[in-house]
Amino acid sequence: MNHITSAGSYYLPEGEYVIDRHFQMPDGATILGAGIGKTIITASKAVFNGCGRRAQVPGNSKTRIGFLLAHNTKIGHFTFVSKDKHRWQGYGGAALCGGGVFETPGCADAYCHSENIGDWKKYGNGGVGNVTVENVKIEGSSSRTAPQLAVFVTQTRDLSKPSHDIVIRGIEMGHSFADGINLHGAVHNALVENCNLYHQGDDNLAVWSHKSMATNITFRNNTLDQTTTENPHKWWGNCVALYGGGEINVINTRCRGTNGVGVKFAVDYGGEWSRQTRVVVEGMVTNHGKPACWGMPRHSRHMIEGCKSTHF
């Protein structure tokens, strides 16, 4: 991928490719493979990462392997193979270290205590917009390996310049050490649909808002499974977790094996609800009689719509 240095459309024919770094996509680039199982991109090695030089457990964010998204970019139609062997921070470390297969420019650690990832000259303390990630299967090189998470939209140091207008669709991932897909900070205008996520180490899908700034987010037509997990505390992970936010829709979700509920509401880790919060939960299907929602904020009658589940 060394030839991908400027805007344009790039095709990766059927075959195997090796990626050995955090590859920063150029603005305006489209990178598409020949299809899942045909174009295969494999991480060169397992990596260890703290969350940045000044993070709770110091490390080197430049050791991450995956794709850094950019303005007006599209990527997908391939299989990605990871070689990570454990969750970088463990469950007693920072809340989420990152290191997703796909990430946006922003803070290297969850609370912006450390350096940034991404092209500093282009993005500074901001994120990116108009991004699509679609039709990717993510797996480990063996039953013991997996990525940290599939997609991590990071928090930006400048909260007035978050990543936005993001489409994530058709992601299948059967094993990860942290979340499946996590939208963090003040991200807005995001759609996550038609994904199949299971055997995570934490939440399958999450909105991790800075206060209530994450907004206009829709999860739609996703199949999620918490039956097996890397997490030693089974109660921790959820099919969908909303840690604060503004306007959020969770539509037509199939949630299997959750220890608690389909959608968990919480204000942990800096998330908040506000008078502008409006959450719609419709078409939630769970098994073992689990409820659709838990932890709704006070006065949720005016903030939450739906939250009725059917069972299988």
String of DSSP letters for 176-229: -SS-SEEEEET-EEEEEES-EEES-SS-SEEEEESBT--EEEEEEEEEEE-SS-
Q: What is the chain's length?
A: 312
262 forms bridges with which residues in the sheet? none
Domain assignment present for residue 201? The answer is yes
pLDDT in tens, the chain (312 residues): 778 999 999 999 999 999 999 999 999 999 999 999 999 999 999 887 778 888 777 778 888 999 999 999 999 999 999 999 988 876 666 678 878 999 999 999 988 988 999 999 999 999 999 999 999 999 999 999 999 999 999 999 999 999 999 999 999 999 999 999 999 999 999 999 999 999 999 999 999 999 999 999 999 999 999 999 887 776 678 999 999 999 999 999 999 999 889 999 998 888 999 988 999 999 999 998 999 999 987 777 778 898 988 888
| pLDDT in the model for residue 93 | 64
Ramachandran area for residue 113 (φ above 0: left; ψ -120 to 50: alpha; else beta): alpha
First-to-last C-alpha distance (Å) of the chain: 45
Angle value at C-alpha 56, between 55 and 61, nearest 5 degrees: 35
Domain assignment present for residue 1? The answer is no
| pLDDT in the model for residue 56 | 75
Domain assignment present for residue 3? The answer is no
| pLDDT in the model for residue 92 | 65
Domain assignment present for residue 2? The answer is no
Domain assignment present for residue 301? The answer is yes
Domain assignment present for residue 89? The answer is yes
Domain assignment present for residue 207? The answer is yes
| pLDDT in the model for residue 311 | 82
Q: Domains in the chain: how many in total?
A: 1
Domain containing 113: what range? 8-311
| pLDDT in the model for residue 299 | 72
Domain assignment present for residue 263? The answer is yes
| pLDDT in the model for residue 275 | 87
Instruction: State the CATH number of the domain containing residue 218.
Output: 2.160.20
144 in helix, strand or coil?
Answer: coil
Which pTM does this prediction carry? 0.96
